[in-house]
Structure 1
Amino acid sequence: MVDDHFAQQLKARRKNSSLTQQQLADKLNVSRKTISGWETGRNRPDIDILRQMAKIYHISLDQLVSDADKVDQSQNSGIIRFTRNSLVVMLAIIIAERVTQYSTRAGFLLADILIFWILGLRILASRKGIRRIHSLRSGLFLGAYIIFVIVAIVSAYVYVFNMGFGLQYGIGFSGYLGLLNLFLIFRHKFELK
């Protein structure tokens, strides 16, 4: 019996990983024709090959053979959208405060560093960035986000560099918004387990 859905899913996974049939065949030590047979539904890979494929695609075996990722994607899409929007709001607040408020040179430098930090986080949270780091729960994204939140909250709290009140408020608000976002990411992470 031919299972078109499974065959299409295998093909979609390969394409999402930016692999050709030949590249995947080389990684699995099979021929390109074998990969083609799986993707057209003429035959199916055995369990050992499926395990190797799951490892190559950085997913669980369950996600590879079922539609579990559709449920994960719908749950993840909300948290990803909230994270992207939060980063845009933080960026807008800090840029607005940077442009409109009076501060010391060091305060402006801190704001500039935080602006570039948020831009980096936003790039990681983009579609292409998530494809590279595989999720918002990756160590790279979470580590960078945690450092941003700590720097923003602490610098606003201790009134570092005698920055103006507006800049202090904007940076502090961005830090607390990031803290809320991190809480939601971690809560979502543990709900999935």
Structure 2
Amino acid sequence: MNNKLIANLKLLRKKNHLNQSELATRLNVSRQAISNWETGRNTPDIDTIIKLAHLYHVPLDQLVTHKNHSAPIVGKPKKTILGVLFAILVVERSTQNAPLAARIWIDYLLLVPIVLYFVLLLIDKKIVNPRIGLAIYNFGLFLFGVAGIGSSFVNLFSMGFGLRITCFACGVMAIGYIAIPGIKHLIGKVKSATSLRV
């Protein structure tokens, strides 16, 4: 078995704060299988290696070769969506003529991308467990989306048409960003189920 793969399997499992049993449950294999892979007695099949790379958020070649594992755990798209939401809200808050209460509401909404970006930085610095941090990120982005869409529908604080559209668009972007991986996963499941029937 590839010695680099053996070392990477164990290293990445520990970096992601998983024990062998937790990883086995996620991959739907036995704990003994994980132990055998990490000691070099057996090798995971290619499908399992792909699942591991996806689970650990690393490129496949990084899993099977000796590349630097100090790359950030959190990908750029997660940070980019926060930057886009922040920029839109800042521009709209400064250009729209709205009541003070509506501008303060936008200030509160602006805090969400800032806090979530900070959570992502803590994940990258390995201060926060990635599973917990990403759960906080997804939940926060979802709440941001609900608050944005909800406040636009009820015209919270008489914010006016411009800020209503901004809140609605930002809310849809946030919820859409969270939903896209789930939709892709669902489409993949449907495709695999239909291909098995044919």
TM-score band, normalised by shorter chain = 0.5 to 0.7
For 1:80-133, what per-residue CA distance to the aligned partner results, in whole angstroms no more than 9, with x for missing partners?
A: 543432221111000111122221121111111111112222333457259535
State how 1:114-193 maps to structure 2 within 5 Å.
Answer: 114-126=109-121, 128=123, 132-135=128-131, 138-188=134-184, 190=186
Which 5+ residue runs of structure 1 have no aligned equivalent? Answer: 19-50
Deviations 1:4-48 (A, max 9, x none): 124421453267358xxxxxxxxxxxxxxxxxxxxxxxxxxxxxx
1:46-77 deviation per Cα after TM superposition (whole angstroms, max 9, x unaligned): xxxxx9435389964769644332245359x9
Aligned partner of 1:82 in structure 2 is 77
Report if aligned partners of 1:54, 1:60 keep a CA contact under 8 Å in 2. Answer: no
RMSD: 3.9
In 1, Cα distance between equivalents of 2:13 and 2:150: 44
Matching residue of 2:68: none
CA–CA separation in structure 2 for the residues paired with 1:13 and 1:141: 21
**What is the deviation of 1:157?**
1.7
Give the counterpart letter for 1:100 in structure 2: T
More deviation, 136-145/179-188: 136-145
Counterpart code for 2:53: K
Q: What's the TM-score once normalised by structure 2's chain length?
A: 0.60
Q: Which is worse superposed, 157-166 or 118-127?
A: 118-127
Tell me the equivalent position of 2:7.
Answer: 8
Structure showing greater relative contact order (alpha-carbon pairs closer than 8 Å, 6 or more residues apart): 1
Q: Distance between the aligned counterparts of 1:137 and 1:190, measured in 2?
A: 24
The residue number in structure 1 matching 2:20 is 53
Check if 1:104 corresponds to 2:99: yes
Q: CA, structure 1 residues 183+17, in 2 after alignment: closer, same or farther (shift >3 Å)?
A: closer
Q: Within 2, Cα distance between the matches of 1:156 and 1:188?
A: 28
* Whole-Å separation in 2 of the counterparts to 1:160 and 1:181: 24
CA 1:142–1:15 in 2, change beyond 3 Å: closer, same or farther?
A: closer
Q: TM-score, with normalisation over the residues of structure 1? A: 0.62
State the alpha-carbon separation in 1 of the partners of residues 146 and 129 from structure 2. 22
Aligned-residue sequence identity (percent) comes to 18
